Amino acid sequence: MRGSLREGVPAIVTGGARGIGAAVARRLAAEGAAVTVADIDGDAAARMASTIAGARALQLDVTDAAAVDRAFDEAPQPYEIVVANAGVGTAGAPVVATSDEEWHRVLGVNLHGVFYTLRAAGRRLLGAGLPGRIIVTASIAGLAPEADAAPYCASKFAVIGLLRSMAVELAPHGILVNGVCPGDVRTELHAEFGVRERAAQSSIPIGRLAEPEDVAGVYAMLAGPDGAYITGETVVIDGGILANALGA
């Protein structure tokens, strides 16, 4: 069965070794993309890539601007689909108890790493005169703040502003930039927050945590023909959490 994407279109997914990133890599490949699984854990990236026909693995620390530039400059073909998904959670503490180290650790990956990725992707696409799709994993925490998670919320609010600004800049060149804002998804990152699943589920009108596969299809839509007139948007996939909080 033919997928929705051009067969062999080059795609890269950062943080692609597990969780949402792995599900997105699998889905893009199923839709026809030639996927590069990039992750700071090179062995995990290789294991993940080995499960996808034709995929390649790349060890990449998105907090290293020079390494990110090399990854895009040295790619055999410009990546026409870029999913900036690499991210970390936070241990959970009020602002007054948040250390400098924790603040810089979270912002380093979730904001600076996304900035380096988007900058490199935009430069390569513009240089090649190609259209493209850039998709950022944000979070509903970037739309509605949470207590005891200031570094994470700040990073996600910031990347939404970043992607919207870039969307306006790149739209005339046929490069579309969007974000996906998942709610509670059953991943290692969710577990890192120390959230009890029962408590999380009680706030979700659908009544369960999302699985990574529940959100991967939205990335495929934004990367494909159905996303051809969407840019600067953040698509919320949260099982109704925000709607419930707003009394909708």
Q: Over the stretch 39-94, which tens digit does the pLDDT of each residue have?
A: 999 999 999 999 999 999 999 999 999 999 999 999 999 999 999 999 999 988 99
In a domain, 1, yes or no: no
Q: pTM, whole model, 2 decimals?
A: 0.94
Say whether pLDDT at 189 is over 80: no
In a domain, 124, yes or no: yes
In a domain, 222, yes or no: yes
Q: Do 91 and 150 meet the contact criterion of CB atoms below 8 Å apart?
A: no
In a domain, 4, yes or no: no
Question: Domain range spanning residue 162?
Answer: 10-245
Say whether pLDDT at 195 is over 60: no
In a domain, 46, yes or no: yes
Mean pLDDT throughout 90-114?
A: 96
Q: Do 30 and 3 meet the contact criterion of CB atoms below 8 Å apart?
A: yes
Q: Do 234 and 178 meet the contact criterion of CB atoms below 8 Å apart?
A: yes
Burial class for 27, CB neighbours closer than 10 Å (0-12, 13-18, 19+): buried
Distance CA 39, CA 191 (A): 19
Distance CA 21, CA 146 (A): 23
Phi-psi region of 243 (alpha: psi -120 to 50; beta: other; left: phi over 0): alpha
- 3-state helix/strand/coil string of 184-239: CECCHHHHHCCCCHHHHHHCCCCCCCECHHHHHHHHHHHHCHHHCCCCCCEEEECC
Query: Across the beta sheet with 175-182, what order do the strands follow?
Result: 56-59, 34-39, 10-14, 81-84, 132-137, 175-182, 234-237
In a domain, 5, yes or no: no
Bridge partners of residue 73, in order along the sequence: none
Angle, helices 150-170 vs 100-107, to 10°: value is 30
More confident residue, 186 or 193: 186
Distance CA 225, CA 139 (A): 24
* pLDDT (tens digit per residue) in 10-28: 999 999 999 999 999 999 9
In a domain, 3, yes or no: no
Mean pLDDT throughout 180-208?
A: 73
pLDDT at 197: 54
Alpha helices by DSSP H, the chain: 19-30, 42-49, 65-73, 100-107, 114-128, 150-170, 188-192, 197-202, 212-223, 241-245
pLDDT at 200: 62
pLDDT class of 122 with cuts at 50, 70, 90: very high
Mean pLDDT throughout 163-176?
A: 98
More confident residue, 192 or 156: 156
In a domain, 225, yes or no: yes
Average pLDDT, the chain: 94
Give me the active site residues, please: 152
Say whether pLDDT at 7 is over 90: yes
Number of domains in the chain: 1
pLDDT at 203: 81
pLDDT at 198: 47
Q: Do 46 and 16 meet the contact criterion of CB atoms below 8 Å apart?
A: no
CATH code of the domain covering residue 119: 3.40.50.720
pLDDT at 196: 47
